[in-house]
Structure 1
Amino acid sequence: MTDPDAGSTSGPSADGDATAATDGDATTSVTGGDAPELPADLDAVRDALVGWYEADHRDFPWRRTADPYEILVSEVMSQQTQLDRVVPAWEDFLDEWPTAAALAAADRGDVVAFWSGHSLGYNNRAKYLHEAAGQVETEYDGAFPESPAELQALMGVGPYTANAVASFAFNNGDAVVDTNVKRVLHRAFAVPDDDSAFERVASRVMPDGESRVWNNAIMELGGVACGTTPRCDEEGCPWREWCHAYRTGDFTAPDVPTQPSFEGSRRQFRGRVVRVLGEYDALPLDDLGPRIRVDYAPDGEHGREWLRGLVDDLAEDGLVAVDGDAAEHDGPVVSLRR
C-alpha cells in the first residue's frame, strides 16, 4: 500500500446527471476534460462498487476496527510496506502497546527497536508515531481529533494519512487519492494524469458521508482488480460496463514510481544499526561495524567513514547518541538514545 501523503480535496457532491450543465466551475470541469468517460448515472456506479466490496474483500484486521489509534498505526506501517508484512507487525505492536496512552508512556528506544526488528522501513516513522501518541494524551486529553485538518496537527501525519484516519475511524474524510485510485480513475473514466483532476473526480464520485466504505472499496478495486496487470473478469470488476479501458482494451495508467531496492540500501543498514544497538547498551564504532555487515573493515570501502555517516544521520534524527571522536582506537561509542 502506498502513501503519497498528498491529500484529496472536497468537491461538489454528485446526485445523478454528471453531464448536466451547472454553475460551479469545479463541477463543469469534472464533466468535461477532467473525466470525459464519467457516466451520467453515478448512483449506479457507486452502488456497483460498494456492493462488490461488501460481498467480498481482503480481510485486513484494521478493517474490522474504528479505533483511530489502531488505524493510525496501520496507516503509518503501511507506508511503502507490503500489507502481508504489516499484518503480523500491526498485531504485535498492539499487543505491546494497545492504546495511545500505552505508546506515549513507552520508551522511544523500545518503539524504534520494534520498528527496526520488524523491517518496517524508515525508523523516523516510529519516532513520529510515538510523539503523536504523546500529543493525543497531552494536548487532546486522550481523544483523537476527528477531521483531516485537525489530524494533521499530529507529528508525522500528513494529508493522506490524516484523511485515511478521518475516513476509516470517523467516517469523516474526503475522497482518498493514492496510486491505486489514480489508476482506477484513469482507466475507468479517462481522467488525465493530473493530480488536481484526480482529486476533483474522486471527490465527485464519492457519495456524501460515506468515506469509510467508499475509500476502502475504491482502494480495494485498485489493489485487487485494477492493478498494474488488470484482472477485470477474474475479479469481477464492478465497473466493466462503464470502463473506458475495458471497452477499448487500452489499460495504460499513470506512471507509478518504483520503490528503491531495500536490499543493500542505506535504509537497510540504518535499520541494522538500530536493531544491533537495541541488543547492547553501547558499542564502539569498530565493534558495531562487523555486526552491521560482514565485510566491514575500519579502513575499507565500507569501513569507519561509511559507518560514521550512517551513525551521524541517525544521531541527527535523534535516534542514537555518539560519544567520543573518530581518532579513538575503536572509534567513538554509539548507543541507542533512550
Structure 2
Amino acid sequence: MTDADGGASAADASLPPDLDLDAVREALIEWYEADHRPFPWRQTDDPYEIHVSEVMSQQTQLDRIISAWEDFRERWPTVDALADADRSEVVSFWTDHSLGYNNRAKYLHEAANQVVEEYGGEYPEEPDELEELMGVGPYTANAVASFAFNNGNAVVDTNVERVTYRAFDVPDDDAAFEAAASELMPEGESRVWNNAIMELGGVACTKSPNCDEAGCPWRRWCHAYETGDFTAPDVPEQPSFEGSRRQFRGRVVRLLGEHDEMDLDTLGHRIRIDYAPDGEHGREWLRGILSDLRNDGLVAVDESGGETTVRLQG
C-alpha cells in the first residue's frame, strides 16, 4: 500500500522489519500471566459482567470501580435482571457510586433490554453485532468480544498507542497504530493478548514509565528504552528520568549496541562522568545495573581472565 506520493504508508511501516514477533508475543504473555492486577472482571468470561465493567471504566480509574462493579453485579446479577429493573434505579445507582455521566447508565439499561428482546438473553459474539447495542462503540464491542468470547480484534486505546509508539517507534498515526496492534496480536488469542498489552501500558509503560520496576518484558526491543526518549502521543514532554537507574540501563544497552564488548571500567566511564571504580557510583553500582540487565536476558558478563567484559546478549 502506498500513500498519495507513491511512498510506503504509515501502516506498512508500522513495526521494525526485523522484529521477532514470536519472541515479542511470548515475552508479553508470560509477563502478564506471571503477575497482573487481579481485577474481578478478569476472572469471568460472562459478557454481561464484562460489558458492565467496560461501561463503568470509561474515563474512570479501574481501581475505583471494583466495589461499584461488585455492588452492581450483586443487585442485578444477570442481563435479564438489569432489563427488568426500573431505569431510574439504575441511574440512581450510577449517581450514588460517582460513575460519571448518567447517560451511560441509561445506555447500559437499554442495551440489556436489547439483549433480552432481540437476542433471547444471549449476547452476540461478533464485534459488529455488539456495536448494535445502545451505547456500545467499536472499542467496547471489541473488548466484550475479546474478553468474553476470545473473538475480538486487537484493541487500540491510549495505552496501546503509547506502548507501540515507544517500543517499536510506530508513527503517531491511527492507521499505523491499528496495523501495528493487529500484527502484534497472535491469531486466536485476543482475550489474553488485549488484557496483556493494556496491562503493560497500565503498570509499566505509563506516562512516567516504570520499565525496570515493573519488569517490562519488551525492554530488549524497546526503542524508547534504548534511546531514553519516553515521549508519546499522550506524553508530549519527556518524563523526567535524569539520573535514574532507567537512564543508565538505557545508556548501557545503547553503548553495547555500538561495540562488540566493553570492559567494566570503560563502560562505567562512558555512561556517567562521575564514575569512579571505588566510588559511590563505581564498580559495585555498575555491577548492580548489569545484574538487572543480565537477569532480563539483555547482557552477558564475562568474569574470566581476571577482567570483566560486558556485551549484549545474543
> Do the aligned partners of 1:179 and 1:256 also contact (CA within 8 Å) in 2?
no
Equivalent of 2:141 in 151, 156, 162:
162
Is 2:75 the partner of 1:96?
A: yes
Q: Deviations over 1:284-319 (max 9, x none)?
A: xxxxxxxxxxxxxxxxxxxxxxxxxxxxxxxxxxxx
Find the counterpart in structure 1 of residue 14 from structure 2.
34
Find the counterpart in structure 2 of residue 119 from structure 1.
98
Structure 1, unpaired ranges of 5+: 1-23, 258-338
Q: Which runs of 4+ in 1 moved over 2 A?
A: 28-35, 37-40
Letter of the 1:201 counterpart: A
> Do the aligned partners of 1:184 and 1:221 also contact (CA within 8 Å) in 2?
yes
Is 2:230 the partner of 1:251?
A: yes
Equivalent of 1:191 in 160, 164, 170:
170
Is 2:50 the partner of 1:65?
A: no
> Do the aligned partners of 1:146 and 1:172 also contact (CA within 8 Å) in 2?
yes
Q: Deviations over 1:168-195 (max 9, x none)?
A: 0000000000000000000000011111
Equivalent of 2:125 in 146, 149, 152:
146
Find the counterpart in structure 1 of residue 181 from structure 2.
202
Structure 2, unpaired ranges of 5+: 237-314
Aligned pairs (5 A) from 1:263-278: none
What is the TM-score when the length of structure 2 is the normalising length? 0.71
> Do the aligned partners of 2:166 and 2:231 also contact (CA within 8 Å) in 1?
yes
For 1:240 and 1:147, the matched residues in 2 are separated by 34
For 2:11 and 2:132, the matched residues in 1 are separated by 35
> Do the aligned partners of 1:147 and 1:173 also contact (CA within 8 Å) in 2?
yes
For 2:71 and 2:227, the matched residues in 1 are separated by 46
Higher relative contact order (CA 8 A, sep 6+): 1
Find the counterpart in structure 1 of residue 154 from structure 2.
175
Q: Deviations over 1:49-88 (max 9, x none)?
A: 0000000000000000000000000000000001111100
What is the TM-score when the length of structure 1 is the normalising length? 0.66
Shift of 1:34: 2.4
For 1:90 and 1:38, the matched residues in 2 are separated by 43
> Do the aligned partners of 2:47 and 2:148 also contact (CA within 8 Å) in 1?
yes
For 1:87 and 1:209, the matched residues in 2 are separated by 28
Shift of 1:33: 3.1
For 1:38 and 1:64, the matched residues in 2 are separated by 36
> Do the aligned partners of 1:189 and 1:244 also contact (CA within 8 Å) in 2?
yes
Is 2:106 the partner of 1:130?
A: no
For 2:9 and 2:36, the matched residues in 1 are separated by 33
Matched residues, number: 232
Shift of 1:255: 2.6
For 1:208 and 1:139, the matched residues in 2 are separated by 30
Shift of 1:204: 0.6
Assess, with a 3 A threshold, how the Cα gap between structure 1 residues 240 and 99 changes in structure 2: closer, same or farther. Answer: same
> Do the aligned partners of 2:11 and 2:179 also contact (CA within 8 Å) in 1?
no
Assess, with a 3 A threshold, how the Cα gap between structure 1 residues 29 and 50 changes in structure 2: closer, same or farther. Answer: farther
For 2:79 and 2:213, the matched residues in 1 are separated by 41
SS at match of 1:34: coil
Find the counterpart in structure 2 of residue 13 from structure 1.
none
Letter of the 1:242 counterpart: W
SS at match of 2:13: helix
Q: Percent identity?
A: 73
Find the counterpart in structure 2 of residue 223 from structure 1.
202
Is 2:33 the partner of 1:54?
A: yes
Shift of 1:29: 5.1
For 1:155 and 1:256, the matched residues in 2 are separated by 33
Assess, with a 3 A threshold, how the Cα gap between structure 1 residues 241 and 94 changes in structure 2: closer, same or farther. Answer: same
Shift of 1:152: 0.3
> Do the aligned partners of 2:146 and 2:190 also contact (CA within 8 Å) in 1?
yes
Find the counterpart in structure 2 of residue 12 from structure 1.
none
How large is the RMSD of aligned CA atoms in angstroms? Answer: 1.7
